[in-house]
């Protein structure tokens, strides 16, 4: 059994801080939306703003980190190996087959994860950020030319729709990432400790194991 550092200290800090912020944003956001009344509106609004500003700051750091380290390539979607992983989650996982993917520091995410995280970063997060900032600073633009073409309600609709998307993503993500390892909590544990204890993919298993490589040094 080998122990390998998959998630660096920054990544773990980033992931878990982001997790706390996002759960807080969803909770306070749905309070603002009127879905629940567990906290007052004013509390929810202030919390939502503080958490959002916190998340923006965190993302600024994370984007900088990803760009300078080249780790952004971890999130480039790939079709290679995707059918195998998809088939595994749709079928093989039930019959105890071995997962056709092994995380390495160079390729931490399986092709399914890559697509999901890429979608989150490119679609959901910007939709939430842009619409959220527009809502926060509505007083500054609603009476300008922008306000004439962009009703405030539409901005709010985008924000809410993206929030639903985020909730769907989170449910899937928590289930897949926290319960489908071997043992079931293996991925969760590696996200906490950073280390992956891999006896799960013995070399020479029946399925072809595809491990996409991050091509270091070619940052074109």
Q: Would you count residue 37 as binding other proteins (CB under 8 A)?
A: yes
Restricting to residues 151-170, name those near other proteins by CB under 8 A.
151-153, 156-157, 160-161, 163-165, 167-168
State in angstroms the smallest separation of the CB of 45 from other proteins.
7
Q: Would you count residue 60 as binding other proteins (CB under 8 A)?
A: no
State in angstroms the smallest separation of the CB of 20 from other proteins.
18
Name the nearest CA neighbour of 113 among 124, 125, 101.
Answer: 101
State in angstroms the smallest separation of the CB of 171 from other proteins.
5
Q: Would you count residue 149 as binding other proteins (CB under 8 A)?
A: yes
Q: Would you count residue 94 as binding other proteins (CB under 8 A)?
A: yes
Q: Would you count residue 50 as binding other proteins (CB under 8 A)?
A: yes
Q: Which residues bind other proteins (CB under 8 A)?
A: 32-34, 37, 40-42, 45-46, 49-50, 89, 93-96, 135-136, 138-139, 142-153, 156-157, 160-161, 163-165, 167-168, 171-172, 175, 179-180
């Amino acid at each position: 059994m080998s122990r390998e550092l998959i998630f660096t200290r920054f990544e773990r800090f980033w992931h878990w801080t982001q997790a706390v912020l996002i759960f807080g944003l969803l909770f306070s956001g749905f309070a603002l939306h009127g879905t629940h009344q567990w906290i007052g509106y004013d509390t929810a609004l202030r919390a939502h703003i503080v958490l959002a500003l916190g998340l923006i700051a965190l993302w600024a750091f994370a984007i900088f980190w990803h760009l300078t380290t080249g780790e952004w390539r971890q999130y480039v979607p790939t079709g290679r190996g995707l059918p195998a992983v998809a088939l595994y989650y749709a079928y093989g996982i039930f019959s105890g087959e071995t997962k056709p993917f092994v995380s390495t520091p160079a390729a931490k995410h399986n092709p399914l994860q890559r697509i999901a995280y890429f979608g989150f970063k490119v679609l959901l997060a910007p939709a939430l950020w842009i619409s959220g900032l527009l809502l926060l600073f509505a007083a500054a633009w609603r009476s300008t030319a922008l306000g004439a073409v962009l009703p405030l309600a539409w901005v709010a609709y985008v924000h809410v729709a993206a929030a639903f998307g985020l909730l769907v993503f989170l449910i899937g993500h928590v289930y897949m990432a926290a319960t489908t390892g071997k043992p079931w909590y293996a991925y969760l544990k590696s996200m906490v400790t950073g280390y992956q204890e891999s006896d799960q993919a013995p070399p020479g298993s029946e399925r072809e194991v595809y491990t996409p490589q991050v091509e270091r040094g070619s940052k074109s």
